[in-house]
Chain A
């Protein structure tokens, strides 16, 4: 059974009765409450023991303030925001391309960002941690420029935004091409390769207040127009020609949605590296739990994506503490397990 069939397969009748906006609101509230709980928990988890963290919360001191409010809190908020942007990107991509396997990185942003960071690190000839004291602008700026360049290359190759098939194909070509160039560069520079690992696997360790500010601004910039355009996404599910016959400006709509997708993804990748699966899985999780139209999905998928990355961040810090796993490995495990569960449920239905 192909994965796309697995995704396309829906429980035909049992969920039809759950169609209500009350259900969506309830799920959104659940995501928000879980996000707050996870944020509180993430204040307690780190290289120091749980008891020490609790002690820090009770009796504030210079060191504890620094760890709790300058490291752990922005990290938790940043993880939520990056996950939310990936969830939003996934929701836009899946609806725009009418493909349940579409994900935020499909336009070449991830490989572009990876190449940008590689080039930046090789030029600076320093490691990620070495660069941290200089501020993260160097690496994140390079990642953002790389992501934007990857997307621009994809759009150039596909000669515009109107042909879905050529866009997807161009995205695949650009991803392979840029990854090959990145691998070639990394082969020549083992030090950079080690430093790149955390970026390639996704990392929430570098998220500071500056990242939180940037991600929050981008999320606000992307979310408002995405909600306004969501009725266009609904119409697109009936086919492009039908949408056009209803008076929708298809070209303009696609340009606007691709711009939002690119901005959201580039911002997330630049701050948290290439975190896989969140953008793919978040919209599916929302749709599996409750019936949503595009507008509800555009709001619920970021809430869900935020919780996913926050949870993954917490697990990555908890599971082998005092050391930590790259968060991308955790999201890959969680996302992969979710696919297996979907597969199993589908087999049960049949």
Chain B
């Protein structure tokens, strides 16, 4: 279980998160939604241990993140950045780096590592490009490879920052289905910040953030019934159900 206890994060004089507490647990996919600049990425980075909060603590399995040895922590919590660098590594080399917490500096892979790499490549459909370099891939392909690198860690908790940005709708759905698959069939605890409302609401649960703080954390239907989104965005957000998914209906004022 990953928990934030009253965390406050400031960049200079700007407060991004203030006294925020939440628990992330169980095999489910949680989306973080909220307006631009509300601190979604900051929350994910703090949960991943990449930012030290000025106030409060983040604990993993009851122990402060900073007290964990780096690689032990990395085995349990994996993080995916918003954008991926156009590295010169091959797809396989990139995905194999996901095993760094296990293989260490020498990078000697054991059969368990090879299997994890193969599973990650297969789950994301990236195996056919495994010998290509990242710099030769399209944005969508590269995003899949990043996801494979994340999955190769085989960490129980996966934190993803905007994994569907810059992707066309079919590719966004591909990523969403991989995330759901990981949560439901591989017992993963998945938290992702997702901009596109329709994709975000495909998750099991949502964390709705307003400026600096939490509006609510619960199932998608709880969020819709409580009208959390309108409160978070400070304007009326109209969501309608369409079959098995939700659609945001934009309305121009006046």
CB contacts under 8 Å to A, within B83-106, are 84-85, 87-90, 93-94, 97-98, 100-101, 105-106
**Chain B positions within 8 Å of A12 at CB level:** 135-136
Q: Is the interface of B mostly helix, strand, loop or mixed?
A: mixed
A287 touches B79 (CB 8 A): no
A232 touches B97 (CB 8 A): no
B87 touches A237 (CB 8 A): yes
**Chain A positions within 8 Å of B48 at CB level:** 245
CB contacts under 8 Å to B, within A228-265, are 228-229, 231-232, 234-235, 237-239, 241-242, 244-249
User: With the chains together, A241 CA to B84 CA distance in Å?
Assistant: 11
Q: Is the interface of A mostly helix, strand, loop or mixed?
A: loop
Q: Indicate if A291 sits at the interface (CB-CB under 8 A).
A: yes
**Chain A positions within 8 Å of B133 at CB level:** 10, 16, 19, 291
**Chain B positions within 8 Å of A13 at CB level:** 136
Q: Indicate if B107 sits at the interface (CB-CB under 8 A).
A: yes
**Chain A positions within 8 Å of B90 at CB level:** 19, 291, 293
Q: A235-B97, A238-B87 are in contact. Are A10 and B79 (CB under 8 A)?
A: no
Residue of chain B at shortest CB distance from A16:
B132
Q: Indicate if A98 sits at the interface (CB-CB under 8 A).
A: yes
A16 to chain B, nearest CB (A): 5
Stretch at the interface among B28-36, B66-74, B225-233: B66-74
B62 to chain A, nearest CB (A): 20
**Partner pick for B98 among A241, A246, A249, CB 8 A cutoff:** A246
Q: A16-B132, A19-B131, A241-B45 are in contact. Are A246 and B101 (CB under 8 A)?
A: yes
A250 to chain B, nearest CB (A): 10
Q: A237-B89, A238-B97, A242-B79 are in contact. Are A247 and B136 (CB under 8 A)?
A: no
**Chain B positions within 8 Å of A244 at CB level:** 50
Q: Indicate if B78 sits at the interface (CB-CB under 8 A).
A: yes
**Partner pick for B81 among A232, A235, A239, CB 8 A cutoff:** A239
**Partner pick for B93 among A242, A247, A287, A293, CB 8 A cutoff:** A293
A238 touches B94 (CB 8 A): yes
User: With the chains together, A249 CA to B74 CA distance in Å?
Assistant: 12
B144 to chain A, nearest CB (A): 15
The number of residues on chain B lying at the interface, defined by a beta carbon within 8 Å of a beta carbon of chain A, is: 37
User: With the chains together, A214 CA to B98 CA distance in Å?
Assistant: 39
B81 touches A241 (CB 8 A): yes
User: With the chains together, A246 CA to B77 CA distance in Å?
Assistant: 9
Q: Indicate if B149 sits at the interface (CB-CB under 8 A).
A: yes
**Chain B positions within 8 Å of A246 at CB level:** 74, 97-98, 100-101, 153
Residue of chain A at shortest CB distance from B50:
A241
B 114-148 binary contact with A (CB < 8 Å = 1; else 0): 00000000000000000111011000000000000
**Chain A positions within 8 Å of B89 at CB level:** 234, 237-238, 293
A229 touches B105 (CB 8 A): yes
CB contacts under 8 Å to B, within A211-240, are 228-229, 231-232, 234-235, 237-239
A248 touches B87 (CB 8 A): no
**Chain A positions within 8 Å of B49 at CB level:** 245
**Chain A positions within 8 Å of B71 at CB level:** 247
User: With the chains together, A239 CA to B70 CA distance in Å?
Assistant: 17
**Chain B positions within 8 Å of A287 at CB level:** 88
Residue of chain A at shortest CB distance from B137:
A12
**Chain A positions within 8 Å of B70 at CB level:** 247-249
Residue of chain B at shortest CB distance from A17:
B131
Q: A19-B131, A238-B87, A238-B97 are in contact. Are A232 and B45 (CB under 8 A)?
A: no
A 7-19 binary contact with B (CB < 8 Å = 1; else 0): 0001011001101
Residue of chain A at shortest CB distance from B48:
A245
A247 touches B101 (CB 8 A): yes
Residue of chain B at shortest CB distance from A292:
B88
**Chain A positions within 8 Å of B93 at CB level:** 234, 293
CB contacts under 8 Å to A, within B145-201, are 149, 153
User: With the chains together, A237 CA to B71 CA distance in Å?
Assistant: 19
**Chain B positions within 8 Å of A248 at CB level:** 70, 100
Q: What is A's interface to B at a CB cutoff of 8 Å?
A: 10, 12-13, 16-17, 19, 98, 228-229, 231-232, 234-235, 237-239, 241-242, 244-249, 287, 291, 293
Which 3 A/B pairs are nearest by Cβ-Cβ distance?
A247-B74, A247-B71, A237-B87
Given A231-B100, A246-B97, A247-B71, 15 other A-B residues pairs in contact with their CB atoms under 8 A:
A10-B135, A228-B105, A231-B107, A238-B84, A238-B89, A238-B97, A238-B149, A239-B81, A242-B79, A245-B48, A245-B79, A247-B100, A247-B101, A287-B88, A293-B90
